[in-house]
Structure 1
Amino acid sequence: MAYGGYNNEGGGGGGGGGGFNVGGSQQGSSQAGGGSKYNDDTLRPVTIKQLLECKEPYPGADLMLDGQSITQITLVGQVRSVQPQTTNITYRIDDGTGLTDVKKWVDAEKADTEGANTFAPDTYVRVFGRLSSFNGKRHVGAHFIRAVEDFNEVNYHLLEATYVHLYLTKGPPTTGDGAAAGGGAGGAGDSMFVDNGAGGAGGVPARVLSCSKGAQNMFSFLHNSPGGNEGLNLAQISNGTGMTTREIINASDELLGQGAIYTTIDDETWAVLDY
């Protein structure tokens, strides 16, 4: 399925979410004779925090995120409450970044069937739908909701949403010589990375430089140490950096908040988020 710049190529590790072909071009324009813009719709992975922070240029305008219109979206979260009503089922969804209402409209002819197939609280679900705003309050009108069967999909979705946000706000990843991957040289201000000033391999994300010295030390150690997909655990980082357990925990909280690292096999094992 082509989503207009967001294409399901390879399927990704999460399944069902598609892969974001950020370099792709949006397809088509209006449908013949109808003036519809469905061909220009994009499907974008988002967090609830991003939805709550979308900008509305003027009343009735498309909501904007990272300078682009938000049309079709997909999110993954946990059901906190369910409110069945005559015309719709309203789910309160929490993805760890915020909460939002997701409304699944009920087909009157299938009301009994759809009402029986509601998702119970604490169930993880993936939602496909459209963000709507009415009287200043936002909700997601769901086209389709399904249960998440593999928890890896939750982590995959958050990483995918992070990657898309960084691509749209920072530009494509850079190669070793600083040129944007895929061609097209940009100025130093266009790069997502900056030299760490220590002569080490590669650089560090600019936002890490705003973190504490401990967080920078931890990031540099993770960045320059071979840890495979599982990353490095607290004991390895402590032995390699001389940092105390408390210093590492505080540093990890900073780096997680900046989206520079992520937890892997447990809450005390981290790896660098490779952009």
Structure 2
Amino acid sequence: MSKYYQASGKSSPTSFLLFILTSVIAIPVLALAYTYLIWYIPFIYINLFITAGFGFAVGMAISHLAVKTGKVRNSTIAIIFGFLGGLFALYFSWAIWVDLVINAGESYGNSRIGITTSNIEFLQVFGLVLQPDTLFNFISEINKTGTWGIRGGTVSGTFLTIIWIIELLIILILSIIFPYLKAKAPFCEVDNKWFKEEDLPAFSFIKNTKEMVVNLENSNQNSFIGLEHISNFETESHSIFTLYSSEKGESFVTIENKLAKTNDKDEIEFE
């Protein structure tokens, strides 16, 4: 039995089909919700969090539906899924956004804050999705003129391009992180299942981590003798043991030390 878990690098052939289904079903639905939110919420700072939420949702969808269900233990494949999924998500969002611009109606508000009513036409959206040259021509025109502003000024040109790049990076990074982490999670090749993950009750802080590691490597349980359960883990330094177990008896454990410190606001935080 290996002392440390190492991913096999394998993946199920069905994972590619699952990724395609996720990309054509789940991701467009998420893109629709995201685009409507940023269209009707005229606050750029709130929209920043909405963008992060969109990237999180896309990443979790790919992680759960394609990587977990498809049993992907290859981090490179997981990264590719996340990258392509993030691009698809933004592409669908742009098709929806452009269609909202095309069908824009009445505007309400003032020069500093306002909204413009609009609704998409699904056939137009599908047409834009299937005609990338037309879509990118619209995007280019939107970049020149702008469709929204800050403090009474319309955002366009280079500044708008920078905002779009930031949006792209946020979505791509979050879309990649979660599939990657799932692919690195312990998987039992014998059971052909992901290991069952269980957080054990908090134990006392481990002062000598090197000794603990050596003892674990040598199946020596002496380091556990002095450990005690910590009930006030929200305020005291402690250690977190996460157990990964399988039906065939093989198991792994991760240990994370949590050192309690008081910040400038006299609040307890952990590092």
Indicate the TM-score class for this superposition, using the shorter chain for normalisation: under 0.3
Greater per-residue helix proportion: 2
- Higher relative strand content: 1
Tell me which structure has the larger Cα radius of gyration.
Answer: 2
TM-score for the superposition, normalised by structure 1: 0.22
